[in-house]
Amino acid sequence: MAARNDAEPLKTGVGPVVSSAHLARSSLPALSEVEFALTMANNAFHRWMVRCMTAAGLPGLSPLEILIVHLVNHRERPKSLADICLVLNIEDTHLANYAIKKLASHGLVKTGRKGKEKTVEITEAGTALCTRYGEIREALVVRAARQMGHDPADISRMAALLRTLSGAYDQAARAAAAL
């Protein structure tokens, strides 16, 4: 029996790469491919964030806590709890509030008030941690992504498509809640 050449495409009739074939049997099977890719990318990205933050010097943070510390560090100005939830598309504010308390206990952020609104501001320790995380990200992820040779404009277009799809899913979630 001859060995199969790995360069030859498999002729299995399997169809698109999805996690739920029953959902791919729709009028837009490519969307099921995107959903599976999003699931894989989301899990890989969360794993990466946790491991990168550990390498940067702070183990034990959740992906949400890492996202929040980076957002609070963004543009070096205080953020309201409502703005954090809006930007990160967090529906349950208590999850963000708990994450902020944990970040504050590590000395990465400090909380305050602007009128009746809770505000969150980065500390020097938080800025230093975000900087170290960024250095590791540049060395490991950015360098690898650049070596793949993708056009940065294509990556930006992909990001815009994903943001557009997130809006479609948000609208669909509202509609499903009304059923």
**What's the CATH code of the domain at 101?**
1.10.10.10
> 51, 70, 69, 68: which is closest to 60 by C-alpha?
51
CA torsion angle 40 41 43 47 (round to 10) = 130
Residue 95, in any domain of the structure? yes
Q: In degrees, to the nearest 5, what angle opens at C-alpha 85 toward C-alphas 82 and 86?
A: 85
**Low-confidence residues of the chain: pLDDT under 70:** 1-15
Q: Residue 1 has what pLDDT?
A: 44
In a domain, 168, yes or no: yes
Residue 109's DSSP bridge partners are: 122
Which residues, other chains included, contact 96 with Cβ-Cβ below 8 Å and sequence gap of 6+? Answer: 64, 68, 81, 84, 85, 88, 90
Count how many domains the chain has.
Answer: 1
User: Is 161 among the domain residues?
Assistant: yes
Instruction: Output the pLDDT for position 92.
Output: 95
Note whether residue 97 is domain-resident.
yes
Dump pLDDT digits (tens) for 42-87. 999 999 999 999 999 999 999 999 999 999 999 989 999 999 999 9
Residue 34 lies inside a defined structural domain of this protein:
no
pLDDT at residue 24 in the model: 82
What one-letter code names the amino acid at 145? A
pLDDT of the residue at 15: 65
- CA of residue 106 relative to chain centroid, distance: 22
Residue 154 lies inside a defined structural domain of this protein: yes
- Domain presence at residue 42: no
**So what's the pLDDT on residue 103?**
98
Counting every residue written for the chain, the total comes to 179
Domain membership of residue 137 (yes or no) is yes
Q: Which domain holds residue 76?
A: 59-172
**Which pLDDT score, from 0 to 100, does residue 135 have?**
98
